[in-house]
Amino acid sequence: MGEITIYHHSLTLGNRDWTLWASGKGLIRLSFGREQELAAAWLRAYAPSHRIQEDRSVFAELGIIGRLESYFAGAAVSYDGIPLDIWGTPFQREVWNGLAAIAHGEVITYRELAARIGRPQAMRAVGTANGQNPLPVILPCHRVIGTNGTLTGYRGGLQLKQELLQLEGITHVGAAGHERFAF
């Protein structure tokens, strides 16, 4: 495979810096703040021969900027129709597609997510894949909580997870979780 162009654009949403990433096929990643080094390593793994180009227009054409701005303003937003180019193992993609089916304002447990994707015994693997989700917010991994009803694991930290849930009107989830998947 020859060199591919990876587009990116940074913006501030919810008082945080986020970066959108896309290939010519669609959105590949949404990274935030301290995650830039992780995003660079991820790009090297999946697209060893790439060049990066800043281009806001790519994301405007995808329709993602306006939807994310609406989401962070508190609106219920659907990401249906946004072209995604999801890079991961078949199992990870299965889990991430399961995330896409979690409705705005709904929370489910890792156990429920495993059952929904037809893998009821794979709770830990589902949790691990959830923690590697390249498109947080869009594939709403923040809507997955621990069986005991508390926040548990979020790459952006439990505070960000709680803030995202609060944007959706979910305030009953306990904050006493753990940072298992924070990295």
- Active site residues per annotation: 141
- Helices and strands, counts by H and E, the chain: 7, 6
Task: Write down the residue that tokens 């849930």 correspond to.
Answer: 165
> What sign does the CA torsion over 102, 108, 110, 114 have?
negative
Name the CA dihedral angle for 129, 183, 157, 38, rounded to a multiple of 10 degrees. Answer: -90
Alpha-carbon Rg for the chain in angstroms: 16
β-pair partners for 174: 150
Count other Cβ atoms within 10 Å, centred on residue 104.
15
The SS3 of residue 29 is strand
